[in-house]
Structure 1
């Protein structure tokens, strides 16, 4: 039988592996979700109140440029609001950057275990992704620079990185940028910047404000507003102009704009969230350091635990699930078959996870 005549996707689209989100428990179950790096303290109460206020005005279109949100970000971070673009999550902005600066015949460079969305958006734009090996699960600046060719148009860098939790120091990020041609766009994805405690880390803000080929991308998803889908980007005028030309005219809804603005200004809640994460990230890392488990040092709101074998990782996933904890398997998405990614949750959740995994370590 002949194939039916019907619309067909552009070449290469059906070859793209879809994004695999973290698993959730069954509806109504008592499982604790530690698979998606969500806030263990919920959202800012001020953000919740602002979202409810916005929800009372659902009949009106939102202001198209997200002005109230851009102005809040500008005030708190010391940024010109005109250099900010907001999006329906940071994924929205990453897609727009790929669509704008990549095309057929181009290449984008990323580290091997970088965010799994980068290959999707690169290939969707018709370009090729170039995967660069890492050094002990950390991006290697020299290797990234060595992978650049005349076809390179974008370098994707998640800092800190997901799913490893590792990061590049400010000096290393600057060294990476200095080694790139001026026509190559460096995208510094700081999705987890709010949780970093390392003294030698810097967000990509200064680079984005002082160079013509750097943008910094951030998100509110890790700050308790994952369901609201809010992202933001800072870049030079010519990039901001290009992205604004193709983004959706009302791409951030009104309740989200208002919630994001309130969350930005609620510095007390954000500091509380950071302190909780640092305490229990460091505690869990120390507790799980054992003969058959290795915790990769993390600067994010999760830890990546490596086991001796893929079979041990699978057994650990099952044991945690049986105990009511859903964590992230990272073999299918990232090729780290012997690893699990565990979000930092409540004190009770962290103690429960440690008890399960330490019990396994002692019996195997």
Structure 2
């Protein structure tokens, strides 16, 4: 049976009874310099056009922003070729994920995410009163069969970060389609494509087409990574009109600020800046990985703007020892023990200076 003839996702009871709001018209210790390589932030900052756009609205801070982010949605639609009416913007993709959970999960429901998936998923699942279910991975990569084996009558959502944070691994799109085909029509597949712009693999797709043609697929994106707008908290999603309508009924009426919208519009249209960011990552991601491997460390192959670095189970050389040493020397990496990866640290691809300096510091740590 095709997905088009199956049942469709149903919002939590009461959601569609809510009348939509219609707004009125309008740190580290030691080291002379600190290198923050823990949050996957852009090493080249934000577009100058985005900065100028913020400055242009600085004289209007007393005014409420457009409650529906209409100009931003139009800009996203213009660049990506999708229908702006099927987009919701929010305070980072975190808010979008929360909106999805609060709209479609209730106590007694279950939602699935993969073993080393983004930790926001269990937070939003529990926040909606539902039960998170963890699907085992293979080789630090989401496993379609492992996910499908856990789907039951209580399952309402499957969250899939593709590429995944903190591992940097991804599912080829034929596997994503196989996952979708195996889900009942009432189960929503959330494709979190926060790092999509960095991926340079021919078998990868962000999920735009699947979200455009399915009743139960929604894709989330962010301006925090390649666009360098993390400080503004800006994200968006694209999905079926019915789901977008349901989510808009509980979305905060002014959930995106005017400066964030202005910057997002300028950033997404500044294709030269995006290409510059991609080129930087294309140069330094393989360099960092190869340098770490030359030091004898295992690196999980990554398609994002970061690498997961595995340290040996040797006294004085473990990940927590490296974390302490690097912090004392001004390098902040991300410990990922809370992800179930106590032997690893996540390292963001930084500026040339930061990349060369952190490799030298890790080499010093391993020699000490």
Q: TM-score, normalised by structure 2?
A: 0.89
Could you list the per-position Cα deviations for residues 216-236 of structure 1 after superposition, in whole angstroms to 9, with x for gaps in the alignment?
000000121000000100001
Distance 1:30-1:357 versus aligned 2 partners, 3 A rule:
closer
Q: What's the counterpart of residue 330 of structure 2? A: 324
Q: What's the counterpart of residue 255 of structure 1? A: 259
Q: What's the counterpart of residue 309 of structure 2? A: 305
Could you list the per-position Cα deviations for residues 169-227 of structure 1 after superposition, in whole angstroms to 9, with x for gaps in the alignment?
11111111011000000000000111111111100100100000000000000121000
Asked if structure 1 preserves the Cα contact closer than 8 Å seen for 2:29 and 2:330, the reply is: no
Asked if structure 1 preserves the Cα contact closer than 8 Å seen for 2:30 and 2:328, the reply is: no
After TM superposition, where is structure 1 displaced by more than 2 Å over at least 4 residues in a row? Answer: 24-30, 358-361
- Cα drift, residue 290 of structure 1: 4.4
Q: What's the counterpart of residue 276 of structure 1? A: 280
* 1:343 partnered with 2:353: no
Q: What's the counterpart of residue 206 of structure 2? A: 203
- Cα drift, residue 323 of structure 1: 2.3
- Cα drift, residue 150 of structure 1: 1.1
Asked if structure 2 preserves the Cα contact closer than 8 Å seen for 1:292 and 1:307, the reply is: no
Asked if structure 1 preserves the Cα contact closer than 8 Å seen for 2:30 and 2:329, the reply is: no
In the aligned structure 2, how far is the partner of 1:258 from the partner of 1:330?
34
* 1:246 partnered with 2:250: yes
* 1:314 partnered with 2:317: no
| Count of residues in Structure 1 that have an aligned counterpart in Structure 2 | 339
Q: What's the counterpart of residue 77 of structure 1? A: 80
Unmatched 5+ residue regions in structure 2?
A: 1-26
* 1:285 partnered with 2:297: no
Unmatched 5+ residue regions in structure 1?
A: 1-23
Could you list the per-position Cα deviations for residues 239-280 of structure 1 after superposition, in whole angstroms to 9, with x for gaps in the alignment?
000011100001001011010000000010011001101211
Asked if structure 1 preserves the Cα contact closer than 8 Å seen for 2:144 and 2:179, the reply is: yes
Q: TM-score, normalised by structure 1?
A: 0.90
* 1:166 partnered with 2:166: no
Could you list the per-position Cα deviations for residues 96-154 of structure 1 after superposition, in whole angstroms to 9, with x for gaps in the alignment?
10001111111001100000000011011111111111111000111011111111000
In the aligned structure 1, how far is the partner of 2:236 from the partner of 2:170?
20
Question: Larger deviation: 29-38 or 261-270?
Answer: 29-38
* 1:352 partnered with 2:357: yes
In the aligned structure 2, how far is the partner of 1:314 from the partner of 1:287?
20
Q: Where do 1:206-221 residues align within 5 Å?
A: 206-221=209-224
Q: What's the counterpart of residue 159 of structure 2? A: 156
Asked if structure 2 preserves the Cα contact closer than 8 Å seen for 1:281 and 1:344, the reply is: yes
- Cα drift, residue 314 of structure 1: 1.3
Residue 90 (structure 1) aligned to one of 81, 84, 93: 93
For the aligned residue pairs, the C-alpha RMSD in angstroms reads 1.6
Secondary structure of the 1:321 match is helix
Secondary structure of the 2:237 match is strand
Secondary structure of the 2:40 match is coil
